[in-house]
């Protein structure tokens, strides 16, 4: 039986933790030892006492958790300092976020440990399980943020998203028809807003079935964007894994200036697919800025603003796979779980994921060959 470790996330403004006490209890009920760093859950509102009551052993430092645990579960990728604490036989499960940080791949490979990527975890239907869960949070939360920013106390134009009897509702434009965009569009429609969803990919049957009175789905084009922007109160940008240098997807400063002063842009793509010229990454301590008279919100980890909920969602999604690894070990788990195989990024310094191998032009190694050869 392998042990599991939970440490405090050290990235600035990250308030989530990888496992909540309820998840820890499910592990310890199966006799899986769990080590939790002191105050690891405090930013999310989870006390050491709650973890102890769930059966975890509270450990005074991250270094000691790294030393004791066989499986380390995190939210954020390993930092440079954390990489120094790893052991070659350890298993890590976290986001690795290589898209904007390709240099991180070499850093992870140098540790010669075993890495599972949360963002690559895929079920047999092709759904990215963790991304789907986090995306739903982001799509729902974007509307809450937008509604607040439209108030005059936040510099907004002072309108209600839903409108009210005799008053027209706000007009919401969503760019991107992936899961985040679709959730945001439906959430905006449920609030009573007038919504247009612009898809940057070919319209499929699923997208078209979203159409209803007050929610239209169309293809993205420069002409259509410019016709909508003057009347748009909130623009939510949710384009993922798209090359930012594609000219037809660039939203220029001149186009942003078409929006009325006090309008709002919620840029959920700012870190991975920065297509809005006036946008840049912001933080939870200073989440907004004004450009072209428009309020911009560019917090990339928006779910960290509700860490208690986000932690529960993350833990619930990954827990079955952590239990499997702890009880069955790596080889047996991979044999019986295609989902885990999809998330295996690297094994002892070798890339074992075709998506990563192709994207970063590295050699690919079949994990079952490596295990058979005991490499």
Here the tokens at position 69 are: 């645990």
pTM: 0.86
pLDDT at 246: 46
pLDDT at 243: 37
Here the tokens at position 213 are: 């009175």
C-alpha 241/C-alpha 249 separation (Å) is 12
Alpha carbon 66 to its chain's center:
24
Find out whether 180 and 237 touch, Cβ atoms under 8 Å: no
- Which is nearest to 360 in space by CA: 109, 83, 89? 109
The CB density around residue 106, as the number of other CB atoms within 10 Å, is 10
Q: Which CATH superfamily is domain 131-305 in?
A: NAD(P)-binding Rossmann-like Domain (3.40.50.720)
C-alpha 357/C-alpha 364 separation (Å) is 6
Q: CATH for 4-120+307-373?
A: 3.40.50.720
Q: How far is CA 353 from each of CA 142, 288, 350, 366, rounded to the nearest angstrom?
A: 32, 37, 9, 8
Find out whether 70 and 89 touch, Cβ atoms under 8 Å: yes
How would you write the pLDDT of the chain (375 residues) with one tens digit per residue?
999 999 999 988 889 999 999 999 999 999 999 999 999 999 999 999 999 999 999 999 999 999 999 999 999 999 999 999 999 889 999 999 887 678 899 999 999 999 999 999 999 888 889 988 988 899 999 999 999 999 999 999 999 998 787 788 999 999 998 889 999 999 999 999 999 999 987 766 666 677 888 899 999 999 999 999 999 999 999 987 533 344 468 899 999 999 999 999 999 988 878 899 999 999 888 999 999 999 999 998 888 889 999 999 999 999 999 999 999 999 999 999 999 999 999 999 999 999 999 989 999 999 999 988 776
Q: Which residues contact 360 (CB under 8 A, 6 or more apart)?
A: 98, 102, 105, 351
- Which is nearest to 83 in space by CA: 60, 58, 63? 63
Alpha carbon 86 to its chain's center:
24
Q: In the chain, where does the domain assigned CATH 3.40.50.720 lie?
A: 4-120+307-373, 131-305
Q: Which residues contact 256 (CB under 8 A, 6 or more apart)?
A: 229, 265, 276, 277, 278, 291, 292, 294
Q: Which residues contact 369 (CB under 8 A, 6 or more apart)?
A: none
pLDDT at 178: 85
Here the tokens at position 276 are: 């809005």
pLDDT at 59: 97
């Amino acid at each position: 039986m392998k042990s599991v470790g939970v440490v405090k996330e050290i990235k600035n403004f990250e308030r989530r933790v990888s496992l909540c006490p309820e998840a820890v209890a499910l592990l310890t009920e199966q006799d899986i030892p769990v080590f939790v760093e002191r105050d690891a859950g405090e930013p999310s509102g989870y006390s050491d006492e709650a973890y102890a009551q769930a059966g975890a052993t509270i450990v005074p430092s991250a270094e000691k958790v790294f030393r004791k645990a066989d499986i380390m579960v995190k939210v954020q990728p390993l930092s440079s300092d954390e990489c120094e604490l790893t052991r070659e036989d350890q298993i890590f499960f976290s986001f690795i976020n290589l898209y904007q940080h390709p240099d991180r791949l070499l850093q992870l490979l140098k540790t010669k440990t075993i890495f599972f990527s949360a963002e690559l975890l895929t079920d047999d239907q092709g759904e990215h399980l963790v991304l789907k869960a986090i995306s739903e949070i982001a799509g729902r939360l974007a509307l809450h943020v937008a509604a607040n920013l439209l108030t005059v106390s936040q510099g907004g134009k002072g309108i209600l998203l839903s409108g009210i009897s005799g008053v027209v509702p706000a007009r919401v434009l969503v760019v991107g028809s992936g899961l985040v965009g679709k959730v945001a569009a439906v959430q905006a429609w449920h609030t009573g807003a007038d919504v247009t969803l612009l898809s940057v990919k070919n319209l499929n049957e699923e997208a078209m079935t979203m159409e209803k009175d007050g929610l239209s789905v169309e293809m993205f084009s420069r002409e259509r964007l410019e016709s909508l922007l003057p009347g748009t109160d909130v623009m939510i940008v949710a384009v993922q894994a798209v090359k930012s240098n594609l000219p037809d997807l660039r939203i220029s400063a001149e186009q942003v200036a078409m929006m009325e002063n006090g309008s709002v842009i919620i840029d959920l793509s700012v870190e991975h697919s920065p297509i809005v010229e006036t946008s840049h990454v912001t933080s939870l301590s200073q989440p907004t800025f004004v450009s072209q008279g428009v309020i911009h919100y560019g917090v990339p980890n928006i779910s960290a603003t509700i860490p208690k909920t986000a932690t529960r969602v993350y833990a619930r999604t990954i827990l079955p796979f952590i239990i499997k690894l702890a009880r069955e070990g790596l080889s047996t788990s991979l044999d019986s779980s295609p989902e885990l195989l999809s998330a295996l990024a690297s094994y002892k310094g070798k890339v074992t994921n075709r998506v990563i191998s192709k994207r970063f032009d590295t050699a690919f190694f079949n994990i079952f060959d490596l295990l058979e050869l005991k490499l």
